[in-house]
Amino acid sequence: MISAAMRGNGRILSNQNITQKEITLPNRRDELLKQCSDLAENPYILGQLSGHLREHGFAGSTNNPLMVYLSTLTRMFDDPVSAVIKGRSSSGKSFALHAGLRYVPDAAYHLLHGLSSKSLLHAAKHNLKNRFLIIQEAAGFGSEGWPFLRQMLTEGKLNYMTVKQTREGHEGAVLATVEGPMGVLMTTTQASLHGEEETRLLSLYADQSPEQIREALMMNARKSIRPTPEDLSRWHALHDWVCSGNTSVEIPYVETLLSKLPTSYPRVLRDTPKLIALIRAHAMLHQMSRDCRAGSIIATFEDYASVYPLVEEALSNGLKASVPRHIAEVVNAVCELHRLFAGSVSQRDVADYLRQDQGNVSRNISTAVEEGFVENKNPGQGRVHEYVPGKRELPSSSVLPTPQELETAYAKLSQHRPIKHDHEELMPTW
């Protein structure tokens, strides 16, 4: 017997004209919540996930696997958050990707180690809608396929006309539409992707420091135990419970946040929706400890404070307000050695100073030269390169306000904001 009213996904369902789908979904969400209630009720879920990652063998900062997990929660949005983890070979970028994916159910993503240039055009039967495409290495994706991936990420679908041979000759044929939206997570050893791809993905970096290598070695020596399927099933249930529920989120401080972002670099128009989406996803993840108004989950400052350390570096790097730490490290080393030597320095000098592999230093210095932070006085193949500080000053600012700065700015603004009545425009929701 169906009760007079059922509440599911933020709406009231009367007992008139209820479809089987409407009955099943709330029941399934109830079952999922039973499996993950201890997680869902935790006010600091990402903190618990970080501890779980360390307990089961992840060394160093857990920001990258946390970003992987949080990004996959945006798969039900119109514009999911896509990202690429960059780093040299054996830097742990793939390990970070898969560490985060452990906590995501298989049905949420499609894992590939490589794909041909036009394979996406023929992927209509693979149901990529509201899923993530995981590309193990960007180099495994044919170069001619990038425009199709960009189209899929930007438009949320892919339409393509080709030519087929018939008895009457060649004629145009439209392939089945590949439906999205779809997100992408990948890794790469490249210092940068093509500019068109760079603006569509957040760039995360694997920690390449000697301290990180030492910590990874110590973690391996402890022979950490992999999480059991039973343990991971709770996290999978949490993911499904969040993604099958309400995705409407109100962020009261969003206008204050947007007013603090720089407008001097056009990429901000593409990066800002990613920041908003991650705040939404964090609020959805913690909906058991969030208020709800007019069918929308109300985000708190805690949602921004949790997202801030995960994206601050990526957004600042993308908007040219700072550079990745491993690039800043070699630039500072060249500047310091140039001051000490009162002349140019070699790659070997920098490698010895930083106590790092020369091949790794060579890669990072090359990037610094391309960006103008370092100048090579003796360029050319087979020559001993001579480096001096470049003409461009190393930027080191942040594009995001700190959580405390945002909360303070919002409090000041709220003191002078007129009270809105019920008939006036409400706070926008996403």
pLDDT, tens digit only, all 430 positions of the chain? 333 333 333 333 333 343 434 445 668 999 999 999 999 999 999 999 999 999 998 988 999 999 999 999 999 999 999 999 998 887 889 999 999 999 999 999 999 988 888 888 988 888 999 999 999 888 777 678 888 988 999 999 989 988 888 787 777 888 889 999 999 999 998 877 877 778 899 999 988 777 777 777 777 767 667 888 889 999 999 999 999 999 999 999 999 999 999 888 888 999 999 999 999 999 999 999 999 999 999 999 999 999 999 999 999 988 888 999 889 999 999 999 999 999 999 999 999 999 888 888 998 999 999 999 999 999 988 888 999 999 999 988 889 999 999 999 999 887 756 444 443 444 556 6
Token representation of residue 213: 């290598």
Cα distance between residue 137 and residue 270, in whole Å: 23
Q: Where in the chain is the domain with CATH 1.10.10.10?
A: 325-389
pTM, rounded to two decimals: 0.85
Lookup: tokens for 353: 């100073």
Q: Which amino acid is at 275?
A: L
394 in Cβ contact with 373 (< 8 Å) = yes
Helix, strand, or coil (residue 8): strand
Architecture of domain 45-239: 3-Layer(aba) Sandwich (3.40)
What does the block give as tokens for 386? 């001579």
Cis peptide before 181 (omega within 30 of 0): yes
Domain 325-389 has CATH 1.10.10.10: yes
Interior CA angle at 118 toward 93 and 135, to 5°?
Answer: 15
Query: Would the CA dihedral through 164, 168, 172, 176 be positive or negative?
Result: negative
φ, ψ (nearest 5 deg) of residue 115: -155, 150
Domain span(s) for CATH 3.40.50.300 in the chain: 45-239
Name all contacts of 47-50 with Cβ < 8 Å and 24+ positions apart: 49/103, 49/235
Rg, C-alpha atoms of the chain: 24
DSSP 114-169: -B-TTGGGG-GGG--TTEEEEES-GGGB-GGGHHHHHHHHHHSEE--EEEEEETTE
Residue whose entry in the numeric block shows the structure tokens 């857990």: 62
From the list 189, 205, 240, 155, the residue with the least C-alpha distance to 324 is 205
